[in-house]
Chain A
Amino acid sequence: MNPFSYERATDAASAIRLANATAATRYLGGGTNLVDLMREHIEQPEVLVDVTPLAQTIEVRADGSMLIGAAVKNTALASDAHVRQAFPLLSRAILAGASAQIRNMATVAGNILQRTRCTYFYDEAARCNKRKPGCGCDALQGFNRYHAILGASDDCVATHPSDLCVALVALDAVVHLQGAAGSRSLPLTELHRLPGAHPEHETELQPHELITAIEIPALAFAGHSAYRKVRDRSSYAFALVSVAAALDVDAQGRVRDVRLALGGVAHKPWRASKAEAVLRGQAATEATFLAAADAELAAARGLRDNGFKIELARRTIVAVLQQLTEARA
């Protein structure tokens, strides 16, 4: 690991001031991703600004919406009484990720900004356009079981590994940001980028822009929601495919409203808007669910090792929607 200096922020303003003093600064959350990447020389910051002292508050507003401080630990968010009751898919998504030890360390902002687990990104001997823009991608022809089936490019087929984010994009979460130029907010669906020709640009963040909080708007029917993660072992493994869903079915058995998102399939947490459009207003039946899954996955492309994910995603979407329909009946 290269030498660096360590600074402790006391609030957002001090974090940004400390970060702006040097170009090669990284914010430090729980360190569970960044420290690992620094050991591998993939990240080489000269200054680490510890942002774990930032807001650790979880605010539930009168309308049921939530404002979650960026430094809230993954365990704390999954354990929150309001999340468990009003947004169970969020609690379940977090708990499906990593291990208890890591969830105790990891912050919400750090989870959102964690980097891909593509083995070629980690392997200094391999070609990776994220690590060295323009040098090529060894995953394209390599072992790509865990790689993207949606929104990938010829330059990068990596996936975003977060479970938490899949539930958050389903819930229309908004990211609150603060930087040298002031504050702004961005829907989480617009924070992460697709790889295109520049997979090294992973997010829309400005240099040293800080995540200060995550806002989740109220969604009455999210109390009826689920997260299903399919993986190579039943715990402590990244997703092959995951599905976050909330479903509102009316008395006539029609889909009044739905939120659907996929994990493990793309360079960003994938909001399944095409599937949602097919579902709204239709009978909540297997045929509808299949049509919705097919609409979303029409653009999916398999690589050498991950073609199975297309069918897996299709079946998992249908299974989760059926589970939510049956639980309601």
Chain B
Amino acid sequence: MQFTINGHAVEVEADVRTSLLDLLREQLGLSGTKKGCDQGACGACTVLVDGERINACLALAVQYQGRAITTIEGLADEQTLHPLQAAFVEHDGFQCGYCTPGQICSAIGMAHELERNVPSVVTADLTAQRIAFDHDEVRERMSGNLCRCGAYNGIVDAINATFGRASA
């Protein structure tokens, strides 16, 4: 199977049963992406495929051949953190850190969705040209990522600090 993972072409042999999550963690050593529930219910495994966020646990790797996959390992460069990573540190967007890679990938996907004017269930006017980047929208759009430490306030603050102003 061939993929582009964090900008690098990767070729790997894998059983067709392998989830994208297990492929990343077990076969490619990219253990930043976490396995929480393995049922699509917690979001710890969130990665970006061609810029869109998905749950890698429910994705059969074989179905994603040829696609560009970005994991938490692909966000920072050698020297500097991705601005959202830095904001998570600054705003206490985590305690134990287990859900953090998924939260960060998910928030990046969410920002793209807002740029593309994808609505959410709390969007009051579905036909608005621009959807407000407000607290309720962020909470609803991030509901697919659970944090058992309850660092939600810090997570929302970090997301707002990174993406909020640009879209306001």
A residues contacting B by CB (< 8 A) are 1, 3-6, 28, 30-32, 35-36, 39, 48, 50, 52, 75, 78-79, 84-85, 88, 91-92, 95-96, 98-102, 104-105, 235-236
Contacts and interface: CB of A to CB of B under 8 A. Distances in A.
Interface stretch (B25-33, B53-61, B69-77): B53-61
A171 B162 CA distance: 40
Interface residues of B, number: 37
Interface string B14-50: 0111010000000000000000001110010010000
A35 B19 contact: yes
Nearest to A233: B143
Contacts of A32: 40, 55, 58
B50 to A, nearest CB: 10
16 contacts: A3-B17, A28-B60, A28-B63, A39-B38, A75-B118, A79-B117, A85-B126, A88-B126, A91-B119, A98-B40, A100-B106, A100-B109, A100-B141, A101-B109, A104-B109, A105-B55
Given A75-B118, A99-B43, A235-B143, A52 B109 contact: no
Contacts of B15: 3
Given A35-B58, A85-B127, A100-B110, 13 more contacts: A6-B16, A6-B63, A31-B60, A36-B40, A84-B119, A92-B121, A99-B144, A100-B120, A101-B144, A102-B55, A102-B144, A105-B59, A235-B139
A95 B120 contact: yes
B120 A99 contact: no
Contacts of B17: 1, 3-4
A269 B81 CA distance: 47
A159 B55 CA distance: 25
B140 A79 contact: no
A28 B141 CA distance: 26
Contacts of B140: 235
Interface majority SS (helix, strand, loop, mixed), chain B: loop
Nearest to B16: A6
B77 to A, nearest CB: 26
Contacts of A236: 143-144
Interface in B102-126: 106, 109-110, 113, 116-121, 123, 126
Given A91-B119, A96-B121, A52 B126 contact: no
A5 B60 CA distance: 12
A298 to B, nearest CB: 31
Contacts of B157: none
Contacts of B59: 31, 35, 105
A52 B52 CA distance: 16
A36 B59 CA distance: 10
Nearest to A229: B121
Contacts of A98: 40, 144
Given A31-B60, A52-B63, A104 B53 contact: yes
Contacts of A85: 126-127
A188 to B, nearest CB: 22
B36 to A, nearest CB: 12
A4 B55 CA distance: 22
The 9 closest A-B pairs by CB, nearest first: A99-B144, A235-B143, A95-B121, A84-B126, A236-B143, A6-B16, A101-B55, A79-B118, A32-B58
Interface string B117-154: 11111010011000000000001110111000000000
B62 interface: yes
A31 B63 contact: yes
A4 B60 CA distance: 12
Contacts of B55: 32, 99, 101-102, 105
Contacts of B109: 100-101, 104
Contacts of B118: 75, 78-79
Interface string B150-167: 000000000000000000
Contacts of B54: 101, 104-105
Contacts of A96: 121
Of A6, A36, A78, A95, chain B has the most CB atoms within 10 Å of the CB of: A95
